[in-house]
């Protein structure tokens, strides 16, 4: 939808030696020729990866044919290509359906399939009118804390600085670090987060462990089952009961969390991760 502006943005990244990725539903791939023309321009502007989304919800609007046409042209041009499939316990469209599709088979026949990455991604709803069920989610990824914090500063399309790139960042006002402008002091915006106990705790323990602690403090609090740890994170910030429980009890763990935070920051600095 950005048209030529998209090429300008990619050029800008390329001139600074930065890789770029586009996440798209592939609606623009109305034919092989159209997809080839669009992707050729994007590749010349430095596009490194095309990430296409599909699945039951996407296919209400964009056909799988468009997604696979975009993927095939992208692979032919040598762009790293990923197809991400919405996954819940009751999804109708599955990876095997994609692999049986004639366009996918033409990708195989051309020997391009070994460069196509297919990802079964948990489909996350942020709306209360939609509920999905999931297989058990492995939360090992987040057991040592959320490594997305204190690693970078993000800039969202509204020119606001954000503390993390989590799926639910728009639902957590506390992750917004203020408007970006020419006078913004990025280091100051980064450092001021260190005064926020919740960010420190998320960084060293992660939202799932925080929820476990809350449950120990107050056994009456009900915890819904989520597909992704960022949903758990948003739930912690949005639930008045949980916020109140943390406010009442956090002083009992404050020193321990602060010490862990200082240690993790120091280790990351030594490993040059921050």
Binding footprint of ligand SF4 on the chain (CB under 6 A): 146, 148-149, 164, 166, 168-169, 202, 207, 229-230, 233
- Nearest distance in Å: CB 121, ligand SF4: 15
Q: How far apart are CA 192 and CA 110, in angstroms?
A: 53
- Nearest distance in Å: CB 178, ligand SF4: 17
Tell me whether residue 62 or residue 233 sits nearer to ligand SF4 (CB atom): 233
Residue 224 corresponds to which tokens in the numbers above? 């819904």
- Nearest distance in Å: CB 207, ligand SF4: 5
* CB distance 116 to 67 below 8 Å: no
- Nearest distance in Å: CB 129, ligand SF4: 22
Tell me whether residue 164 or residue 257 sits nearer to ligand SF4 (CB atom): 164
- Nearest distance in Å: CB 44, ligand SF4: 33
Residue 49 corresponds to which tokens in the numbers above? 């990866």
Half-sphere exposure of 131 (CA within 13 A, CB side): 3
Q: How far apart are CA 73 and CA 62, in angstroms?
A: 17
Burial 153-164 (b: 16+ CB within 10 A, else e): beeeeeeebbbb
Tell me whether residue 97 or residue 147 sits nearer to ligand SF4 (CB atom): 147
Tell me whether residue 83 or residue 236 sits nearer to ligand SF4 (CB atom): 236
Q: What is the CA radius of gyration of the chain?
A: 22
- Nearest distance in Å: CB 164, ligand SF4: 3
Tell me whether residue 26 or residue 207 sits nearer to ligand SF4 (CB atom): 207
Tell me whether residue 83 or residue 205 sits nearer to ligand SF4 (CB atom): 205
């Amino acid at each position: 939808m950005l048209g030529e502006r998209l090429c300008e943005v990619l050029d800008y990244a390329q001139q600074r030696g930065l890789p770029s990725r586009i996440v798209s539903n592939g609606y623009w791939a109305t034919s092989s020729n159209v997809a080839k023309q669009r992707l050729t321009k994007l590749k010349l502007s430095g596009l490194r990866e095309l990430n296409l989304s599909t699945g039951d919800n996407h296919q209400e609007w964009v056909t799988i044919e468009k997604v696979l046409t975009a993927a095939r042209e992208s692979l032919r041009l040598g762009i790293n290509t990923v197809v991400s499939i919405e996954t819940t316990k009751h999804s109708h469209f599955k990876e095997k359906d994609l692999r049986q599709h004639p366009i996918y088979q033409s990708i195989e026949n051309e020997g391009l399939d070994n460069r196509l990455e297919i990802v079964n991604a948990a489909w996350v709803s942020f709306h209360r009118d939609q509920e999905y069920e999931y297989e058990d989610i492995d939360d090992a990824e987040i057991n040592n804390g959320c490594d997305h914090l204190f690693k970078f500063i993000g800039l969202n399309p509204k020119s606001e600085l954000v503390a993390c790139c989590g799926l639910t960042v728009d639902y957590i006002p506390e992750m917004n670090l203020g408007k970006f402008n020419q006078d913004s002091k990025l280091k100051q915006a980064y450092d001021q987060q260190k005064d926020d106990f919740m960010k420190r705790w998320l960084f060293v323990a992660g939202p799932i462990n925080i929820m476990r602690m809350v449950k120990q403090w107050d056994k009456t609090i009900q915890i819904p089952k989520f597909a992704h740890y960022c949903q758990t994170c948003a739930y912690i910030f949005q639930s008045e009961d949980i916020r109140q429980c943390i406010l009442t009890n956090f002083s009992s763990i404050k020193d321990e969390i602060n010490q862990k935070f200082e240690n993790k920051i120091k280790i990351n600095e030594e490993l040059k991760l921050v």
